[in-house]
Amino acid sequence: MSDTSIPASPARKQSTPLSYLLIFVFVLFIGILVVVYVITKRTNPIQLDEHGKQVNSQLLFPAVGDGSGSDA
């Protein structure tokens, strides 16, 4: 019998710079998504009508059970 054995493949591939770059881009993308989500939750936007005047959003969309007593 000849001694032509197949070399054992490594259990784990070596990391390449490209894989590090892809991991960095993925983590950066997720970080941007989290930051944008937090910023949008903290904002208090002002709604404007077609003339640029502030609209009172509580009057347009009253909360259910706000205690005002009006059903209309």
Is the pLDDT higher at 13 or at 27?
27
Query: What's the token pair of residue 31?
Result: 């970080």
> Which tens digit of pLDDT belongs to each residue from 23-40?
999 999 999 999 999 998
Cα–Cα distance measured from residue 28 to residue 20, given in angstroms and rounded to the nearest whole number: 12
Quote the pTM value: 0.46
**Max Cα distance, the chain (Å):** 96
Place of tokens 């706000």: 66
